[in-house]
Amino acid sequence: MSKVKDYIYRPEYECMTRSEMENLQSERLRKTVELVYNNCKPYRAKMDECKIKPSDIRSVSDLCKLPFTVKHDLREAYPFGFYSSPQSDIVEIHASSGTTGKLTVVGYTQNDIDVWSEIAARSLAMAGVTKDSVVHVAYGYGLFTGGLGAHYGAQKIGAGTVPASAGNTIRQLTLLRDFGATHLCCTPSYAIYLGTEIQKAGMNIEDFSLVGGAFGAEPWTYQMRSELEKLLHIDALDIYGLSEISGPGVAMECMQKHGCHIQEDHFIPEIIDPETLEPLPFGCEGELVFTTITKTGQPLIRYRTRDLCTLSNEKCACGRTTVKMGKVKGRSDDMLIIRGVNVFPSQIEAAIMNVSGVSPHYMIYVDRINNLDVMEIDIELDGNLTPDKVSDVEAIKKKVETEVNSYIGVGAKIRLCEKGTIRRSEGKAVRVIDRRE
Amino acid sequence: MLVKQLSVFMENRPGRLYKLTHALGKEGIDFVTLSIADTKDFGIVRFIARDNDRAYEVLKNEGFTVGITELIGVEVADRPNALAEVVSLMEESDINIEYLYSFVLTNHNTAKILMRVNETDRAVSLLQNKGIKLLSEKIL
């Protein structure tokens, strides 16, 4: 009894035959490789090192000759070293957290914002958003791409957009109900939280106009989908993106609810073995890699997302012919996603090292309590301290809390432990225990 | 004229206090005083042992986070208002008592008060001027 009418926003691209798509990708790939080779120093250096000239790249089948790009490369070039356009052409800058506290910066030209709006619009169309819809965006607005990405997509379609941003649950519910939101965009865990708070706030879901939503920025399960759909009486679809490539809308689930369609006329996907780096065939699980082929500000070649999933070229009943990616199963690095924010244990370690009075022995516990991610850090007090006053110890705890929060942008509960009580591991240190399902 | 006290950081969970008391007990070290300041997550155990230096050594070897603090100890008559008189002396001179505990030994008609203040030297001379008897470790 679905109220969502999935429609194809750009059939001329989303329903191309394979040979049409490959021709288009090949042409755009050639242009992109020219662009980065001539304008982006790190890419010229990488390609020179592999003795690859732009002229060696004729079609998508040559893609595997090109070197990979990793997050570390972007960080090395902080802040603007990966631009392929003059700084004056950059109209918007986003950033996500890097592994050691340094930000990963992404610059967008007007062309890139247009590309992003286009793919976000195609995505929202899968959730049935039209100009008559009201889209409530409860992703954070800011350097994080969630808020503005959903916003651009809704604007492109011409839907009424409510830029609610994150936080203040009671106000979110009031806005959703009173403004007659038909669609909700936020993290799936926050959507479930909103759903469970409706009753507590003395509201009735029957008074809401919601029919669907696009939920992403963190991995979620099919069980979470059915819970979310039951709570909010909607169709809940998965939206995928990462700021390095564009933001939300790189891929999106259609109403078949079986994998996300990748916007292949803008991004070429590959799956590789994260150990050997060899490309893997459809259906094999490996690391997802993207090459952007229409961006001009900061195009990326074979960018390793670290997300582990599969790709499928099976025919989809929705009519779209683009390749689909399965649910992200995990990461090939140790990144955690806490309430939609990317967190690396190394950032937490860097924050802890700034505080005197604690040792570098810590353990991070992540739980999902009442559908919200909760992070707790056990950390050993420095064994050489001579603690006598409670307030001195409380001050150390407070300092760790403040440092961690300012490094990663997410709060954590700190528990100070006695020396020697955090498990020491032999070999690779276990720093994180993720108890979320 | 100060009294040495040991302070130990301890997580607030079952078994921790046993580990500390047992570590000292099996070495034949006797407690003279013991008090605990507790919070939800952790506590600070403060005590005076018959042999503080050995107690410190034993606990360090067992991996405890332990420190030595010097406290002011005074002896007052075991009667109503005796504690209040000492406290008011501090208050009048604007000295803050960070913590305090007191005890009475059997066969004595005096009470002992142990306290940590923010201005130890000034507090000591105030007490001495008033003729209040200060304790040393040996008297304990």
Taking CB atoms and an 8 Å cut-off, how many pairs form between chains A and B?
A: 55
CATH of domain A338-434: 3.30.300.30
Give me the half-sphere count of Cα atoms (radius 13 Å) on the Cβ side of residue A218: 26
Closest to A144 (Cα-Cα) out of A111, A187, A100: A187
For residue B105, pLDDT over 80 is answered with no
Please, what is the Cα angle at B27 between B24 and B32, to 5 degrees?
A: 50
The answer to whether position B140 is within a domain reads: no
Rounded to a whole number of angstroms, the distance from the CA of B124 to the nearest CA of chain A is 20
- Domain hosting residue B51, numbered range: 3-69
CATH number (domain holding residue B14): 3.30.2130.10
* AA identity, residue A318: C
B139 within a domain of the structure (yes/no):
no
| Sequence-ordered alpha helix ranges (H) in A127-202 | 145-157, 169-178, 188-200
Whether residues B60 and B114 share a domain: the answer is: no
Predicted pLDDT at A424? 76
pLDDT per residue as tens digits for the range A277-312: 999 999 999 999 999 999 999 999 999 999 999 999
Are residues B91 and B112 located together in one domain of the fold?
yes
For residue A234, is pLDDT > 90? yes
A71, pLDDT greater than 80: yes
For A190, the 3-state DSSP assignment is helix
| Cβ atoms of A28 and A294 closer than 8 Å | yes
Q: Chain B contact for A418, CB < 8 A?
A: yes
Q: What is the residue whose two structure tokens read 């005096």?
A: B110
Q: Which residue of A has its CA nearest to B60?
A: A383
What does the pLDDT average to over B11-35? Answer: 94
Q: What digits encode the pLDDT tens for the residues A2-27?
A: 889 999 999 999 999 999 999 999 99
Helix H or strand E segment including B4: strand B3-11
Q: Indicate the average pLDDT of chain B.
A: 92
Flag if B44 and A393 touch (Cβ within 8 Å): yes
Q: At what angle do helices A110-126 and A145-157 cross, to 10 degrees?
A: 70
The values of phi and psi at residue A245, to 5°, are: -90, -45
Closest CB from B7, B41, B63 relative to A388: B7
> ipTM of the predicted structure?
0.88
Cα pseudo-dihedral A29, A35, A36, A40, rounded to 10 = -170
The mean pLDDT value for B96-115 works out to 88
For residue A349, what are the CA distances in angstroms to A412, A431, A432? 13, 10, 12
Domain spans in chain A, listed from the N-terminal domain onward: 11-333, 338-434
What is the distance between the alpha carbons of residues B14 and B26, in angstroms, rounded to a whole number?
20
Residues B104 and B86 reside in one and the same domain: yes
Domain A11-333 class, CATH top level: alpha beta
Q: Which residues contact A405 (CB under 8 A, 6 or more apart)?
A: A411, A412
Q: What's A122's DSSP letter?
A: H
| DSSP three-state, residue A51 | coil
In a domain, B56, yes or no: yes
Q: Under an 8 A CB cutoff, do B42 and A419 touch?
A: no
User: Could you tell me if B47 lies within 8 Å of chain A, comparing CB atoms?
Assistant: no
Q: Which residue of B has its CA nearest to A385?
A: B65
SS3 content of chain B, % helix, strand, coil (to 5): 30, 40, 30
pLDDT of amino acid A98: 59
pLDDT of residue A1: 66
**Structure confidence at residue B104 as a pLDDT band (50, 70, 90):** confident
Domain boundary among B69, B103, B125: B69
User: Which of B2, B3, B65 has the most A C-beta neighbours within 10 Å, making it the best mutation to test the interface with A?
Assistant: B65
Q: Which of A106, A99, A49, A112 is nearest to A78 (CA)?
A: A106
- Total domain count, chain B: 2
Chain A contacts in chain B segment 69-128 (CB below 8 A): 69, 98-99, 116
| Position B102 pLDDT exceeds 80 | yes
Asked if A421 and B64 come within 8 Å (Cβ–Cβ), the reply is no
Q: Considering only residues 375 to 414 of chain A, which have any Cβ-Cβ distance to chain B shorter than 8 Å?
A: 381-390, 393-394
Tell me whether residues B44 and A419 touch, CB distance under 8 A: no
Residue B139 has pLDDT above 70, yes or no: no
Please name every residue paired with B10 in a beta bridge, in sequence order, or none if there are none: B43
Most B CBs within 10 Å, among A388, A394, A421, to test the B interface: A388
Residue A254 has pLDDT above 90, yes or no: yes
CA A25 to CA A31: how far, in whole Å?
10
For residue A339, is pLDDT > 90? no
Chain segment A73-123, per-residue pLDDT in tens: 999 999 999 999 999 999 999 998 655 667 899 999 999 999 999 999 999
